[in-house]
Amino acid sequence: MTLYTRKYIVGSKMGHRKYIKEFSKLLIDEQQHNIMALVGNGFDIQVLNFLNKNIKTSYYDFYNFLVWQKIDDSNILFNQMKSMKNKYEKDPEINHNLQNWSDFESGIISIFNDRWVRYSDLEDSLEELRSYFSIFLNEVVTPEVNNNLGKHAQENSLANNTFQKFLGDLSDDDIVKCEFSKKTDHYNLYNWQIFNFNFTSLLDNYMYLDRKQFNPEPHKTVDTNYLFYPNPRSVGDTRDMGNNGDTIWSSYIISNVVHPHGYQNIPKSMLFGVNSQEQIYSAGSRRLNSFIKPYWAQNDLKYSHLFEDTDLYIIFGMSLGITDQWWWRKIVDSLETSESELILYNYCHSASEVLQETVKEHFMKASGWVGEDTRKSRIMDKIYVVNFDNNTPRFAFSMTPYSEA
């Protein structure tokens, strides 16, 4: 058992808040669909690329920023970053990992497990990098950047495209196979819990339902406030799907964005670290809790109950590193024990060359799940991979409206 595990009363069920009493057409719990979206640094990099910013929020750009700032070479973590950078630049096959923040956090694991290090020295190094990273983010993600993003998202209804039509990103086979769309109907509520694993507010800005995209009470005779498209691209036989591209459900929406690892304007809130004490097995002090993200984020207390009744998980822009294994394992356990499903967006240089099964296997490995092949196959059967590159049209989390992509 890891240090962050929390025991719950057997038989207790919490889950998401129920809104059945809040809306007149919401009569039974089954009309509420709970969607959990987990979004990482790939989203921020996409935004900054679109806005033609030379400096991104990548691991590599932050390293160059530290060099420019002439950070003290005695910083243990900076030296680890330098070592990893030299290693990656010598191997073209893994050079893309310079974009992944999971590599930085994996460096903490390497420091603990490869050599002896004093806790106080590592903590001081981490605090120094946290301070520099806050400065770095405020120079990259400026108010001007956020204003430009907000204006673009509003003018092109990008939040609406994501909330309303994300199912259109699935392949033809997967959208027919996906059970989620078949459970939708008129007067359903789509309850979005969005976890922003970035420290910036770019995603918050992008997903905000502004006055141009949303009206909480648009009608006089009914209190529905949103439209949902269960089959945006009109895929499949309507006898099997029950709907087509012309089907639009009069619905309700609730959305909430949470930063489980902190926020750039509150530097001391920003969490860097590992998933569990088992990942830094060479040391056994409780003081090492400082480097365990689920411990400080209080994952079990704040978020664990949400996995009990989530219907659909969406992962976008995440590197699926082992330092966020708490989240991946919770999702896998949910897929195995409930009717939930997962849409996993996978960015690649050529979307047609990556096998969906390879992506699924990588996710299962990142979760740390171990079990029989038949059980594993049933879990993977509920995962829908959306491979995309810079030229792939998308409804969700895109910087370009689908019709113009």
Q: pLDDT tens, 332-345?
A: 999 999 999 999 99
The answer on pLDDT for 7 being more than 50 is no
Residue 379 CB partners (closer than 8 Å, separation 6+): 332, 335, 336, 364, 369
Residues in the chain, how many? 405
Which residues have a Cβ under 8 Å from the Cβ of 103 and sit 6 or more positions away?
59, 84, 97, 321
Does residue 134 surpass a pLDDT of 70? Answer: yes
Selection from 113-127, 207-221, 265-279, 359-373 with the highest mean pLDDT: 359-373
State pLDDT tens for residues 217-226.
Answer: 888 888 999 9
| Residue bearing the bigger pLDDT, 284 or 290 | 290
DSSP string, 358-380: HHHHHHHHHHT----HHHHHHHH
- Structural contact between residues 223 and 195, judged by C-beta atoms closer than 8 angstroms: no
Question: What's this model's pTM, rounded to 2 decimal places?
Answer: 0.87
Q: Is the pLDDT of residue 102 over 80?
A: no
- Whole-number pLDDT of residue 289: 67
More confident call, 329 vs 219: 329
Spacing of C-alpha 403 from chain mean position: 25
**Model confidence band, residue 5 (pLDDT cutoffs 50, 70, 90):** very low
Q: Can you tell me the distance from the alpha carbon of 352 to that of 349, in angstroms, rounded to the nearest whole number?
A: 9
The pLDDT of residue 263 is above 60:
yes
Highest mean pLDDT among 63-67, 231-235, 359-363: 359-363
pLDDT of 45 over the 60 cut: yes
Model confidence over 301-313: pLDDT tens digits? 889 999 999 999 9
Mean pLDDT score of the chain, rounded to an integer? 84
* Amino acid 90: pLDDT: 67
Domain segments of the chain as ranges: 1-46+157-260+303-405
Is the pLDDT score of 163 beyond 60? yes
State the DSSP H helix or E strand holding residue 334, giving kind and residue range, or none if neither.
helix 325-337
